Structure 1
């Protein structure tokens, strides 16, 4: 079934091979050399984040595991801490342990942001503390900037590195009265994704001081990530930095308008009630299985993909799905989204 319109940034016409290649052809010229897009991307990201150096990786999974490996070798410590629902633990088959022999301390409650007291309760010397902005799996919520600064400062005061999982840092910045560089200054290393908010195909960039990034380059090669022909991934990401990045506040404002309409309707509700970023969750009074069946029928009948998948809830009669507003999401008015959500039970 072809997706004609999608509220999710991870699917839809803008992600089709034809559309990606069409946009790529507009960016690449006969003078473009294979090394140019990667070098330009690394320089732009380093400059935007205020870091001395940056390095391209073919995946965020590799970038973050390498960052933790280097921090572990620097400190002589094998443990790191992070939110119980951090991507490293939930979505990567514990690669940090299988490949690098690291152990993970889940910190705080799985449904809330962790705080400074939660970090202090970890009684083991840490190589790093991982901070995810926003915390995707609990609704895209953000800590207050002062709290974030205190937590990162505490980590560094103990000899641990403060590492930012900034897969959605481009979106998270809209929730702070601070620049990308001011946010990144709190952290020793910062990872950013190239394919989510920037609508790239794949890839990541890791930024930090020159010595740390030089060490990560060695591990990137060992893990097979020093690919020669990375230029298409970098070139598409550069387009996203030109086109998508300046519109992040627009995406956030539209996300807030959708959330307001959903909450005002009353059938469903959002977490958070007022999104800090373009990312939030919609909670439905339906089982996960029913919501997914209804979503599939909506796609078959209309070509509209409302969400990628439904998330389970401790209450089996309820579930949630993620909304991440980008260029495609602007095509949906808040009223239309409310109608689509309210109509889901009729499609079960």
Structure 2
């Protein structure tokens, strides 16, 4: 993705979640007010006053309990275990310096807009608290932040990016042009990612089972073939997912004649007729083609005359029956 596109995507998050005061880079240690650990009991904020105090501290870094934070409704892909493992290794040796982004939810709980992989890593490390910033955000703003925060992650698969774009397209009734403008991606990039939706449903299910197996460049080519070769496209994707076919070779495999038929033709038997142990003629037939290979050119001439007369007699009989 171009630098301009990355800057535009970063600006989306900043526009929604940043306030007059940028979140401070707070180390994981006891923090002075107002970035002190909020007094939380029984999974809820202690009082309405505490909730009101929290609202006033929007945009500032706070430390809160992990068990009060839930995934929001706009995450379109499952957690990436590799990404969680990398974050776990980093957070084991270093303090969390980048706050997660949350919005208030019901009953004193919070929805995660950005940072769910960090939460998973911290939980695996046995941590109970994490550094966050909290902002009021509409569903539209929350969806934008959730998706575009992930879109910037280099390890995100093309299929996961497609799911996010498709969700954004459906929820806002966006055109490709509008997605291009909002995301910072080019028109061709957006169209390429959306080509997953033009695969047969069975092929999409296969991709979903192993999203890293096939990228948008190949999917765009397969989608163009799906109308005339739907079954072959599904078979090709299945082979790719199973590791039996390279993704880059899948489009050519779809349009190539099935190897099974070619092999069957090559295996069609021949019949040898012999005279006193010496081959006289080898007869082969493939579909409507009958060939005879005589060892003697003279015999070939004679049999050509005989066979021609035989065919003429056969034609005459067929005509008399019609």
| Same fold by TM-score greater than 0.5 | no
State the structure with bigger RCO (CA 8 A, min sep 6), 1 or 2.
Answer: 1
TM-score scaled to structure 1, two decimals?
A: 0.28
TM-score scaled to structure 2, two decimals?
A: 0.29
Report which of the two has the higher share of helix: 2
